[in-house]
């Protein structure tokens, strides 16, 4: 089963609109002859329409970093899936550990967001990952099991065809300390078997599982060489087009 790798950049709360457009344009010009890998960047909500327009017709695809699960309504400060879709975005990151940690997102909320993204025709990137304490206490599998099972609770197989899973160990995010090849291999193998157990073996073998957490040009080749790793979700190293392209070109 061939799964086209996805290299995604999560720009978090960095870059004004003009800065985001400048980086996106630069990136698009650098990836004009990239094949066999999908490329996505997720700027802030404010930059979404600007960036989407600036990379239209290039291999660079666009994603949002979050959404509100309602279609519309009196939810001051929030943005719905339909609104994101209307900008030209294709993807949406859901349940990032920073949302769970700083904004109190629970698995139940994550699940509502996943369903809302699917309804609007966005491809959800569900983020899961354990904290350092949870790993030390050997609770990694338990934590991931709950995040995936509860995050996808009640979703039908037909709804999940565009789902992407991203394993991002919290202790590896922004720390410069990526998980080791062995650690990543172990978790990704487990996640694939969990998808099989929860849904089906066909679904499990079709679903892309990304790794995120201190991915850099120096370690990307080793990480992408791991069986069951189908791409990367990159934070810091995606902010500079020249650095990010080196990650995208990991196979060259
Ligand atoms: P870093 O690549 O900066 O560790 O961030 C990873 C991340 O959180 C991507 O969503």
CA angle 158, 160, 161 (to 5 degrees): 75
> Does position 1 have pLDDT exceeding 80, yes or no?
no
Looking at ligand 1, which residue's alpha carbon is closest to its atom 7?
A: 235
Ligand 1 neighbour 177 (Cβ under 6 A): no
Q: What is the Å distance from ligand 1's center to 232 Cα?
A: 9
pLDDT at 146: 98
Q: How far apart are CA 250 and CA 252, in angstroms?
A: 6
pLDDT tens for 216-231 read: 999 999 999 999 999 9
Q: SS3 of 233, please?
A: strand
Q: What is the Å distance from ligand 1's center to 17 Cα?
A: 21
> What is the residue whose two structure tokens read 């997102």?
105
Average pLDDT, integer, range 103-114: 98
Task: Quickly state the pLDDT bin for 62 (edges 50, 70, 90).
Answer: very high
Q: SS3 of 209, please?
A: strand
> What is the residue whose two structure tokens read 């172990």?
186
Residue spans per domain, the chain:
6-248
Helix H or strand E encompassing 167: strand 164-167
> Does position 88 have pLDDT exceeding 60, yes or no?
yes
Of ligand 1's listed atoms, the one at least distance from the Cα of 176 is: 4
* Percent of the chain topping pLDDT 90: 98
Ligand 1 neighbour 215 (Cβ under 6 A): yes
> Does position 92 have pLDDT exceeding 70, yes or no?
yes
Beta bridge partners of 231: 6
CB half-sphere exposure, 75, CA atoms < 13 A: 10
CA dist 191 → 129, 204, 220, 228 (Å): 11, 9, 20, 9
Average pLDDT, integer, range 144-161: 97
pLDDT tens for 9-21 read: 999 999 999 999 9
Ligand 1 neighbour 236 (Cβ under 6 A): yes
pTM value? 0.98
Task: Quickly state the pLDDT bin for 2 (edges 50, 70, 90).
Answer: confident
Please tell me the CATH code under which domain 6-248 is placed.
3.20.20.70
Ligand 1 neighbour 179 (Cβ under 6 A): no
**Mean pLDDT computed over every residue of the chain:** 97
């Amino acid at each position: 089963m061939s799964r086209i790798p996805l290299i995604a950049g999560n720009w978090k709360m960095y870059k004004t609109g003009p800065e985001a457009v400048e980086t996106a344009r630069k990136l698009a010009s650098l990836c004009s002859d990239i094949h066999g890998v999908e490329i996505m960047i997720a700027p802030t909500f404010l930059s979404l329409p600007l960036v989407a327009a600036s990379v239209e017709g290039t291999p660079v695809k666009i994603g949002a970093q979050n959404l509100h699960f309602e279609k519309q309504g009196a939810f001051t400060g929030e943005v719905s899936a339909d609104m994101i879709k209307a900008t030209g975005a294709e993807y949406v990151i859901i349940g990032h550990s920073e949302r769970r940690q700083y904004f109190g997102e629970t698995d139940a909320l994550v699940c509502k967001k996943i369903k809302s993204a699917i309804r609007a025709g966005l491809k959800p990137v569900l983020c899961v990952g354990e904290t350092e304490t949870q790993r030390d206490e050997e609770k990694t599998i338990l934590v991931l099991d709950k995040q995936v099972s509860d995050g996808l609770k009640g979703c039908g197989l037909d709804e999940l065809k565009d789902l992407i899973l991203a394993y991002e160990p919290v202790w590896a995010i922004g720390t410069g300390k990526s998980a080791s090849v062995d650690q990543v291999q172990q978790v990704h193998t487990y996640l694939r078997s969990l998808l099989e157990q929860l849904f089906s073996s066909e679904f499990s073998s079709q679903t892309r599982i990304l790794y995120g957490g201190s991915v850099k040009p120096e370690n990307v080749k080793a990480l992408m060489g791991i069986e069951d790793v189908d791409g990367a979700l990159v934070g810091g190293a995606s902010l500079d087009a020249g650095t990010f392209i080196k990650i995208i070109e990991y196979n060259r």
